[in-house]
Amino acid sequence: MNPMPLGPNPLIEDYLDRLSAPLVGVVPAQDRLRLRAEAGAHLERQVERALLTGGDENEAIRQAIEAYGPAAIVAREYIETWYANGVQGPLYDRFGRANLTAFSRFAVAHVLFGLLLQFRVFLPSEAAYSLPISPADTRRFLPAPFPVPEDPTFGLLSTAYLLLAPIVAGWLTGLAVPVGASRSAAHAMLPIVAFSFCAGSLVLPMTEGIAFAFVQVVYWLPAGMLAAHLGRAHARLRALEGR
Amino acid sequence: MKRNRDQLLTSNLLRGNSTLLVLSILRDAPTAGFEIATEIQRRSNQLIDFKQGTLYPLLHEMERKGLIESDWHLPKQGRPHRVYRPTEQGLQELEHGLRAWADFATAMTLVTGVKPEEQGA
C-alpha cells in the first residue's frame, strides 16, 4: 500500500522549485533535473515512512523538508561541489577554478594597460623619430617618456581604460563564476597588486608604477569586486528569466 | 554538552569522513540516497546529524570521481529513485580509508587515554 496521494504534492513541488531555481544557469539541466528527481523521491519516501506510523500528511511533509534542509543551503552546497569539481587539473586543484578564472580576466586587464602605457611612451606621434636601439635599451637611458608632442587621445584613452578595465574584468568574472565571484575577484587582484607594487618600486624615482599600484588598491579592487557581484547577479537573473 | 558533541560530529569530523561513511553503507548493498541518510543516522545512534539534502552533492561528487555508480530504479508506485553502489575503486578507497581511520583512532586513544566508548557513555 502506498499512503502517498496520487500526483505531485504541491508543498513538495514548491520546495523542489526553490531547490532548483538557484541551479538554473549554473548547473547543466541534466544534472539539475537529476537532483530534483532524487530530492523529490527522497522527500516522498520520508513522508511515506512518517505516514505509515500515523500522523498528519502536511506535518509529515513539513518534517521531511526540515530534515532535508533549507532549499537555499542544499542548492548552494550542490553548486559549490559541482563547480569545485567541474574541471580537473593541477592549477585548478591548487588555486581553485574560480580564482584562476578571475585572475585570467584581471591579468589581461592589467597587461593591456601595461601595453597601452608602453605604446604611449614609445610610439612617436610623428613619424620623424627613428630608434637606433631597441625601446627597452632606450628606456635604460631615458626612463621618462619621449618628449613627443602629447596627444590628448592617449591621455583620454588611458584614463578611460583605467576606469573601465576593472568593471569589465569584474563583470566578466561574475558571468563566469557562479559562486563567490567577488571573493574570487579579490583573490585575483592581490597578486596583481603585489606585482604592480614590485614593478613600480623597480622604476623609481618614476612614480607612475607605484601610482598605478595605488589606483589598483583603492579603485580596481573594490570596483572589480562590485562588478563581479553585479555580473553574477545579472547572469543568475538572466538564467531565471530564460533569456 | 550534547549540542557541542553534535556540532563537532557534523562539522569537523564528518566533513573529512563523509565519503567513508557513504562507502561503508554501500558496501553492504546497493542503496538509494534516502536509505543511506537514514542508515548513517541509525547506525550512529543519531549522533551524526546532518541535513539529508546535503548528501546528494556528495553522492554526485563521488560518482564523478568514480567511487560509486548508480542507476534509476523504477518502482510501480511512487517516484523513480536512484540506487547507488560502490565501484572497485570505491571499495579500494574504503579499505584504505578505514585503515587510516583505525590508525588515527588508535593514535588518539593512545595519546588521550580515552577510549571512544568511555567518552560516549
pLDDT tens readout for residues B39-79: 998 998 888 878 888 899 889 889 988 999 999 888 777 67
Chain A residues whose beta carbon lies within 8 Å of the beta carbon of residue B64: 85
Of A41, A69, A82, nearest to B81 by CB-CB distance is A41
Arithmetic mean of pLDDT, A95-107: 82
Contacts of B119 (CB under 8 A, 6+ apart): none
Please state the ipTM of this predicted complex: 0.82
B54–A74 C-beta distance less than 8 A? yes
pLDDT mean over A198-218: 80
Rounded distance, CA A89 to CA A125, Å?
46
SS3 call for A149: coil
Please state the three-class secondary structure of chain B as a single string: CHHHHHHHHHHHHHHHHHHHHHHHHHHHCCEEHHHHHHHHHHHCCCCCCCCHHHHHHHHHHHHHCCCEEEEEECCCCCCCEEEEEECHHHHHHHHHHHHHHHHHHHHHHHHHCCCHHHHHC
Alpha helices in A53-144 (DSSP H): 57-68, 71-84, 90-95, 97-122, 135-141
Residues A111-168: pLDDT tens digits? 888 777 766 665 544 444 455 566 667 666 666 655 555 566 777 788 888 899 999 9
Using CB atoms, which residue from B33, B61, B65 is nearest to A42? B33
For B20, residues 6+ apart whose C-beta sits below 8 A from its C-beta are: B94, B97, B98, B101
Query: How many angstroms separate the CA atoms of A112 and B55, rounded?
Result: 45
Residue B107, pLDDT score: 92
Name the pLDDT band for A19 (thresholds 50, 70, 90). Answer: very high
Q: What is the pLDDT of residue A142?
A: 61
Between chain A and chain B, the number of residue pairs with CB atoms below 8 A apart is 81
Query: What is the pLDDT, as a whole number, of residue A93?
Result: 57
Q: How confident is the model at residue A184 (pLDDT cuts 50, 70, 90)?
A: confident
Assign B35 a pLDDT band (cuts: 50, 70, 90).
Answer: very high
Point out the least confidently predicted range of A69-78, A126-135, A201-210: A126-135
A207 in Cβ contact with A220 (< 8 Å): no
Share of chain A above pLDDT 70, in %: 72
- The predicted structure's pLDDT at residue B15: 66
**By percentage, how much of chain A surpasses pLDDT 90?**
24
